[in-house]
Structure 1
Amino acid sequence: MNRQIAWPCLLAAALGLAVPARATPEAGPAQTVLFVGNSFTFGALSPVRAYRPELVTDLNGEGIGGVPALVAMFAKDAGLPWRISLETAPGEDLQFHYDKRRARLAGRWDVVILQGYSTLSKAHPGDPSEHVAAAVRLAAMVKRENPAARIDLVTTWSRADQTYRPGGHWYGKPITAMAGDIAAANALAIRTDAEIEGAIPVGQAWNRAMDEGVADPNPYDGVAFGQLNLWTTDQYHASAYGYYLEALVIFGTVSGRDPRTLGAAEQAGFELGFSPDIVATIERVAAEELLASGRIPAKVIKADRAAP
């Protein structure tokens, strides 16, 4: 693919938060869900990495729970009999999984969630070409095994270290810009391959949390009182709060349910040491972004909130 893409046009579309997606189906009676990704999926540098590994199947045998285990707990609480597996490798892109781990991904999956490299390309940060090509290859592989499989791409978050530190590819730009570029890359992948269902707006949910004052947008100048730090100590990976928001957005997208129906006393949040107020706030941000991004219809949000 030519790297001279009309990138400003794609970015403008992504910043409108209108990433194309098909209608989200209600979960079936026995969905198998596969997560493919890297440290942003397995919850590096946070207690999420070791969270409840018994709830998921780690195809690498490393005993990781991660974000997939949080989603598994949400599904359990919601009465959804999902069987969740993960295949992750730190610091790797989607092409790595296609080249090196393809045999482990073999199988008939109902839902496959793909999370790529945080800067899209290691050698050319911000360039979507490699990411899009690898996503298309993986989608084709999954569809050969199960033509009815649903495939989603995770739009990851802006990295503070890439934004506020000289030398970062997004240095000097708004903190929301990097997530916008990832969203635009995923939008391009969806337009390129009709087999890809849509994008999961995790990065947009982070942006929303910062825009609304729920989360501090710049950890380098201190975290404001009453606000959450979505990053961990390296200002790159997520904190437990950031991964929890990621998991809620993924759960809402795949289930088609309002994350707020899990309630302020949700089990995983309690086990991570979050207060009910914080759980409720993060659930609200996730629900609002899912609605704004079109991943959950307004009628679902209204129905779920009206339910006793």
Structure 2
Amino acid sequence: MRPSPLPAVYSRLLGLMAWGVVSVNASCAPLPESEAEALGSSVSAVTGGNILFVGNSFTHGNEEPAYSYNKAAVTDTNGSGVGGIPGIFKKLTTQAGLSFNVSLETASGQSLAWHYGNRAAIIGQATWNTVVLQEQSTTPLPTARGGSPSGFTNAARDLRSLVLSKNPAANLFLYETWASPTSVGTQGYPSGTPGLQAMQTDLRDAYFKASRELGFTGVARVGDGFLRAVDQDLADPNPADGISAGMFNLWSAQDSRHSSRYGSYLSAAVLFAKITQLDPRSLATGTGSAAAGLGISAADASNMHRIAYEIVALPDPVVARTRLPVTRATFTGAVTAGTPVSITGGAQLASLTTEEGTFTNVVGATASGITGTNTPSSLGTVPANVNAAASGLGANDGANNVGAGNFQFGTGFSARTRFFIVESTLASAAVGDPTTVTLINVSNQTVGTYSLSLGESDFTATAAGNTSASLATLNYTGGVASVTGTPAGSVKSKLGAVSFSLADLGVSDVASVSGATGLRISSSTLDPNVVGLYTVP
């Protein structure tokens, strides 16, 4: 029996049926109208053609029976002779009456950047009308968890551009991988189910952020399917202490990291549902089916079909928030090396580093209308006024207790814009003061109701009395006495910073703030040195 289509693709499938491309068993009724309204999807159905899976052992499988499954029916472009999850996917599409030519380009342990650098000739072929990209399992995680989010995004961008340069009409999906008991431990997450949930949240955020920013067709939420099986007490979250009665193990018994036959089957079921937009709950589970071929019971297979359906029916999650502390900065000018560096004269901010990467395309804002309770401080000559103290990229002076001020960039913003505030504070204190940020237009008028509240925890982590993690230190020699010290220049200050995006301000539609050109910053204690922006790739 052919699976029913997911709701959003009814019209597409009816068109294919009219042309004879797709035939549907008349006994398989579409979803009820009420269910269709609740479970709509914006992804168009892909019901055939040449599909390429790019990834590593999370795609080709790490053990039998998944590793070799259905290998004769798929093309291993590297000649390794594996079937893996693409082989299972092929079988599921055959069960559904679809015609896909399935190929895989996989290499154990490798990242998308490696595939781009070493397999571009295979991936960059006009023949592919659908390409699925699976990143190395920890690369999308935050840098604090051993990942490289910018490396993931850059590689996904490069591969997407490569595919579309050969076939502009190609569909491109990201294959979201799973948290595992082993990875939770090695990447520093809590143990047990809380760790699986936390790691999966980070993976989900990374994949959907990349998908939205880069314009992918969609994300196959395989890892979310794993977590749902755990949450529904179908899969054992801690196989190390034995598999609980009535449960199965999603992960390999060899390493609790790769997928078992169950994890591989669930992966293929989610990919099938996402790409074809057909209801996997109608897939066969008996003799001759993919489930039977892998030694999976009809009951377990049916539960995984249901989970795949539920995962694909979920609305896409909200883009991950990007309010991030700045962990490193570089400066040009009068700077003395050290940990951290010391600003000894006129200096300019040159780069900032957050979990998203290191950025050199920093632009400083022009300040106006600053009010505050203290006069500006500087290393050397006192700035003429508070506006001069907080304009541009000068890191050697700052406005004390800003009160309120407008910071203009003279340009529009996008989802890739990242704003930042570099603040100075005494070495005896912690960086970060309660601050409200609001969007403004060229006339310094508030745009919409978008605002953001920042606190100490959002800035570079620098505890009171400790300068080791700060971005730089400096000794002001001009300005307010409590900052410069007596004699002037005897009190040490330090710099910290925070970055944030339009999404952090609550903007879900960039077009709705097309008139915004700057920020208003309000705080009774913030001492900004630089307010600026940069753009992530």
**Which residue does 2:157 correspond to in 1?**
136
Is 2:50–2:129's contact at 8 Å kept on the other side of the alignment? yes
Q: Secondary structure at the match of 1:281?
A: helix
**Which residue does 2:129 correspond to in 1?**
110
Which 5+ residue runs of structure 2 have no aligned equivalent? Answer: 1-39, 318-537
**Which residue does 2:231 correspond to in 1?**
211
Is 1:51–1:65's contact at 8 Å kept on the other side of the alignment? yes
1:227-285 Cα deviation digits (max 9, x unpaired): 11101120110100001000000011110001112133261111111121111111111
Which 5+ residue runs of structure 1 have no aligned equivalent? Answer: 1-20, 296-308
Pairs within 5 Å for 1:1-308: 23-28=42-47, 30-108=48-126, 109-120=128-139, 124=143, 125-163=146-184, 165=185, 167-172=186-191, 173-194=194-215, 196-233=216-253, 234-265=255-286, 267-293=289-315
Q: Secondary structure at the match of 1:33?
A: strand
Structure with the higher strand share, 1 or 2: 2
Q: Which amino acid aligns with 1:245?
A: L
Larger radius of gyration: 2
Is 2:141–2:206's contact at 8 Å kept on the other side of the alignment? no
Structure 1's consecutive aligned runs of 4 or more residues displaced over 6 angstroms after TM superposition are none
d(CA) in 2 for partners of 1:78, 1:276: 17
Q: Which amino acid aligns with 1:285?
A: I
d(CA) in 2 for partners of 1:155, 1:27: 18
Change (3 A) 1:122 1:174: closer
Is 1:78–1:262's contact at 8 Å kept on the other side of the alignment? yes
Structure-1-length-normalised TM-score: 0.83
Is 2:142–2:149's contact at 8 Å kept on the other side of the alignment? no
Aligned length: 271
Q: Secondary structure at the match of 2:147?
A: coil
d(CA) in 2 for partners of 1:204, 1:123: 18
Change (3 A) 1:113 1:22: farther
Is 2:140–2:203's contact at 8 Å kept on the other side of the alignment? no
**1:55 CA displacement:** 1.0
- Percent of aligned pairs with the same amino acid: 36
**1:22 CA displacement:** 7.3
Q: Secondary structure at the match of 2:103?
A: strand
Is 1:126–1:181's contact at 8 Å kept on the other side of the alignment? no
d(CA) in 1 for partners of 2:64, 2:106: 16
By relative contact order (CA 8 Å, sep 6+), the higher-ranking structure is 1
Structure with the higher helix share, 1 or 2: 1
Range moving further from structure 2, 150-159 or 123-132: 123-132
Range moving further from structure 2, 171-180 or 92-101: 171-180
**1:47 CA displacement:** 1.3
Range moving further from structure 2, 138-147 or 221-230: 221-230
1:42-98 Cα deviation digits (max 9, x unpaired): 011231011111111110011110100100001111111111110000001000000
**Which residue does 2:338 correspond to in 1?**
none
**Which residue does 2:465 correspond to in 1?**
none
Range moving further from structure 2, 121-130 or 208-217: 121-130
Q: Secondary structure at the match of 1:277?
A: helix
1:90-110 Cα deviation digits (max 9, x unpaired): 001000000011112231211
Q: Secondary structure at the match of 1:188?
A: helix
d(CA) in 1 for partners of 2:91, 2:190: 37
d(CA) in 1 for partners of 2:142, 2:173: 25
